[in-house]
Amino acid sequence: FGWQSSSIIAENSFGYTPETMSFALTTGAGDGLGVLAGHTLYYGIKKAVVDSSIDMNKELQTGFFLGSAAFCSGTVWQPLVNTLQGANLSFNEVFFGTWCGCGLAFYAGLRVGRTILSGFMSHIEEPTYDNHKTDASLSVAIGSATAFFVGTDAAYLPSQNFLIDIVGIKDGTPDL
């Protein structure tokens, strides 16, 4: 809900349109904050309910690390989708282009995050070959998730949108 909530704020409170860098940065920030909050809340509840040994400092650092990568993919999503749709690509081409582009942005965020954050966050491992593999795997999963959000645009080639009846947001659907 971080990206969607921040898109509403960007448009309704700040007057940014989806074609602007300000909109992209606002939604990226919302995505990153949503990941940070969600990760930290999840582990806080888990610690309280089932596992008191969970180190919340570690989970806060991990949430910040993952949130910084989500900022990257969340910022890229709207401009990337706008560009791919503007090129009159098929729904599937926009879907797979978004998967690749946002997956790469998330991966770049993880690798840069490891490089920078490992210097002052004790629970963030510096870049290694082993965490490169796990970072790449997670980035493929995140990229695929972002691709499915392309299906929310019920106005773009609705006859090709195989997700329209599952996640399509049609006129009249409430913002949240």
Summarize pLDDT for 103-126 with one digit per residue, the tens.
999 999 999 999 999 999 999 999
Whether 143 has a pLDDT exceeding 70, the answer reads yes
Work out the average pLDDT over 71-95: 98
Whether 142 has a pLDDT exceeding 90, the answer reads yes
Summarize pLDDT for 30-69 with one digit per residue, the tens.
999 999 999 999 999 999 999 999 999 999 999 999 999 9
Whether 176 has a pLDDT exceeding 70, the answer reads no
DSSP code at position 125: P
Where do the H-state alpha helices sit in the chain?
Answer: 2-8, 21-49, 56-86, 91-117, 129-148, 164-167
Summarize pLDDT for 60-77 with one digit per residue, the tens.
999 999 999 999 999 999
Report the C-alpha gap between 102 and 107 in whole angstroms.
8
pTM for this structure?
A: 0.93
Average pLDDT of the residues of the chain: 95
Task: Give the torsion sign (CA, 113, 114, 119, 121).
Answer: positive
The proportion of the chain whose per-residue pLDDT surpasses 90, expressed as a percent, equals 91
Q: Which residue has the tokens 């329209």?
A: 164
Query: How buried is 104 (Cβ within 10 angstroms: 0-12 exposed, 13-18 middle, 19+ buried)?
Result: middle
Work out the average pLDDT over 82-91: 97
